[in-house]
Structure 1
Amino acid sequence: MAEAAKSFYVDHFCCPVCLEVLKDPVTIPCGHTYCMDCISNVWADVDQNGVYSCPQCREAFSSKPALNKNIIFAEMIEKLKITSDQTTHEKQYSSEVVNLECDSCTGTKNPAVKFCLQCLASFCELHLQPHFESPAFMKHTLVQASSQMQKNICQHHVRLLDIYCHDDHQCICYMCMLDSHKDHKTSSVESERIKNQKTLEGTKTQWQQMIDQREEGLQELSRAVTSFKSFTQAAEDDTERILTELMSFIKERFSKVKELIKTHERRELSRADELRFRINQELTDLRTNTAGIEELLATTDDIVFMRKYNLLQAFPAYKDLSSITYHPCESSGTISLSAQGVCILYLFSYEHLCCAASRAEDQRRFSALFL
């Protein structure tokens, strides 16, 4: 089924330019769909003559069409990829589980269905019956038979690795505890797994809260950037309206004010981009680590759990993101004062030149220039 799904989206969601599965699919007016980068590169060569056409049907367009993302294609490709990845993971997992043979069968070996943690042996359905019928075996613990169980037995003492050594951070057997791990701090693997599982669950909850905070922070950041862009556009429009009546020497000051606005906008947008990049990076790390925790929490084998848990103990430190301290509009007063300063300069220049004029003829000339 996974192969069919893979073949389906390769055949139906293939870019005609690069002949691979569509990446960032966009649809042009004629209805054909391409990768965003592929169609952009094709049309980049015709930007000079201004003739744009579809690489498939050759339909020409008088102007460069807008490239709108094909949301349906993008969602279907993503879902099919997820299905394919899950199936591949299941195949990899199933390949690790090898059917064991019954240790009690003579001659032809029957497949084992259970493994006894006390007997340290695998049993088929037939030879498993004494564990259900005889009181001597009633307290034995049975688990699913798999090749993984062989890794849970001490190679030196042929005993179950059911003890955890805190000093060496590894699973050992009872004889190891009395021998090479003597005087070490130990506890049962089961109890240690329960304790560490609670720690992981707490970490997962904490990281989920951080994910929620950062998603909310990104939304707040987007709103702040939108508001700031609207403000800078309004400030620029007001400044242009005021400065259209000024002389050439006033226009020079207008250019400085406009450059101040642009500089401020670039600086604040740069800050916003840096903050957005950091939050997205932390979101990616948190989601990846959370997925690893979920996979570890789903592990049923205590020993495998403890081995992998030791590899996950070095968690990165994340600061609590309670709010987004990004308020670019607080500097609006500076830009408004700059615009007002130009107006004051205009009025001052007009009054100063008119008063300094010795003749009515000069006053009329200055009035014509400034008003």
Structure 2
Amino acid sequence: MAELLPLTEELSCSICLEPFKEPVTTPCGHNFCRSCLDETWAVQGPPFRCPQCRTSYQVRPQLHKNTVLCSVVERLAIVEQARAPGDGWTPPVRAAAPSTVAQVACDHCLKEPAVKTCFVCTASFCQEHLRPHLDSPAFRDHPLQPPVRDLQRRKCPQHNRLRDFFCPEHGECICHVCVIEHKTCSPMSLSQASADLENKLRYKLTIMYSQINGASKALEDVQARQQGVQEATNRKIEQLRQEYLEIKALIDASEASSTRKIKEEEKRVHSKLDTIHQVLLKKKSEIQALKEKIEDGLKEGDEFEFLEKASKLQGIVTKPVYVPKVELDHELIHCVYQGTLDLKNELKRATRQLQERKPKEAPGPGNP
């Protein structure tokens, strides 16, 4: 997997940090998921800027699908799926079916523990009462299985037959009579369906681990950006404070107004980033919870119990992490700062003119 890591990073969207999904190319040559770029520009509005190089477009560019890049991403996904999960992660192993010899009683004598269960007779038998199945040719076509608990629960409530098939289209176990009603579906044996769903859940689990890693990186990025916003505003406020030291006695109110505008801008951006941070935390928590459920499901040894849980978990869809672009309004900050410089120069000019006029306006000795 290590040799594919650089290629994986090159084939990841810089907005959602996930492999490209329907990649499109901007006029400046950068690639993004179509949905990520659409959502970013919908929030941003005109002028539309490239999230990577910040190139500005007054009119929203026409985007076209990058078919070559899409094909490469699909091929990489197939390669990654075929490889065993690595990077220190070991998929959970399903527990073996527990031994139930001492837990299932013989249905004939109700005393001795059962050693086999007959799915044709739908009953479990101890060693003594199993003899007819072993000795008599009449029971030769009765398949015997290890003792099974709660056979009644495994029966089809409609046809009173054991449910020994699974319908993927409806996500339920069915009996051989139900197969006729599901003729347009693709029923399969319990063991085959269990193996198929287990493989799908394992693959889904690898994707979820990747999404969790993406969410963690996104959270770190948001925290770093919050720190950067705070440092940027602190530096600008300090510059303003140095300028106002010269004119503080005359324009205390102006200094307070300018500082308030920048603080409000910081609060606005910080609030948006904090909201994004909370959403990411919640999404990560939801994915983590679903991951734990899948891991618990994969430890279920009983195929029947596993299929009932796995079919529900397989239907739950998780979405990749999306972090919209939120930045300080540097134009606003620059205008505030430039206004301060202009005001200082204007005050200096006015003060100098006033000082130059004083000798002329001062009354002479002979003047009243």
Give me the TM-score of the superposition, normalised by structure 2. 0.59
Partners of 1:217 and 1:280 in 2: how far apart?
A: 10
State percent identity of aligned pairs: 22
Partners of 2:135 and 2:212 in 1: how far apart?
A: 52
Structure 1 SS opposite 2:247: coil
CA pair 197-342 structure 1, distance change in 2 beyond 3 A: same
> Contact between 1:116 and 1:141, CA under 8 Å: does it hold in 2?
yes
Aligned partner of 2:146 among 137, 143, 148 = 143
Partners of 2:141 and 2:179 in 1: how far apart?
A: 27
| 1:249-328 equivalences in 2 (<5 Å) | 249-321=250-322, 324-326=323-325, 328=327
Q: Which structure dedicates a bigger proportion of its chain to helix?
A: 1
CA pair 109-272 structure 1, distance change in 2 beyond 3 A: same
| 1:55-134 equivalences in 2 (<5 Å) | 99-104=103-108, 106=109, 109-117=111-119, 120-124=122-126
Partners of 1:362 and 1:129 in 2: how far apart?
A: 132
Q: Identify the residue that residue 166 of structure 2 maps to in structure 1.
A: 164
> Residue type matched to 2:350 in 1?
H
> Contact between 1:164 and 1:170, CA under 8 Å: does it hold in 2?
yes
What are the ranges of 5 or more consecutive residues in structure 1 without an aligned counterpart?
Answer: 1-93, 365-371
Structure 2 SS opposite 1:174: coil
Partners of 1:259 and 1:363 in 2: how far apart?
A: 40
Aligned partner of 1:350 among 337, 348, 351 = 348
Partners of 2:242 and 2:360 in 1: how far apart?
A: 27
| More divergent stretch after superposition (193-202 vs 213-222) | 193-202
Shift of 1:352: 3.4
Partners of 1:315 and 1:156 in 2: how far apart?
A: 28
Shift of 1:109: 1.2
CA pair 155-237 structure 1, distance change in 2 beyond 3 A: closer
Shift of 1:332: 4.8
CA pair 138-234 structure 1, distance change in 2 beyond 3 A: farther
RCO greater where, 1 or 2, for CA within 8 Å and sep 6 or more?
Answer: 2
> Contact between 1:160 and 1:173, CA under 8 Å: does it hold in 2?
yes
> Contact between 1:354 and 1:363, CA under 8 Å: does it hold in 2?
no
What are the ranges of 5 or more consecutive residues in structure 2 without an aligned counterpart?
Answer: 1-97, 363-368
CA pair 344-123 structure 1, distance change in 2 beyond 3 A: same
> Contact between 1:112 and 1:145, CA under 8 Å: does it hold in 2?
no
Partners of 1:239 and 1:167 in 2: how far apart?
A: 67
> Contact between 1:224 and 1:326, CA under 8 Å: does it hold in 2?
no
Partners of 2:329 and 2:361 in 1: how far apart?
A: 39
> Contact between 1:162 and 1:171, CA under 8 Å: does it hold in 2?
yes
CA pair 150-113 structure 1, distance change in 2 beyond 3 A: farther
CA pair 358-238 structure 1, distance change in 2 beyond 3 A: closer
| More divergent stretch after superposition (149-158 vs 294-303) | 149-158
> Contact between 2:115 and 2:127, CA under 8 Å: does it hold in 1?
yes
Partners of 1:233 and 1:335 in 2: how far apart?
A: 12
CA pair 172-325 structure 1, distance change in 2 beyond 3 A: closer
Shift of 1:214: 0.8
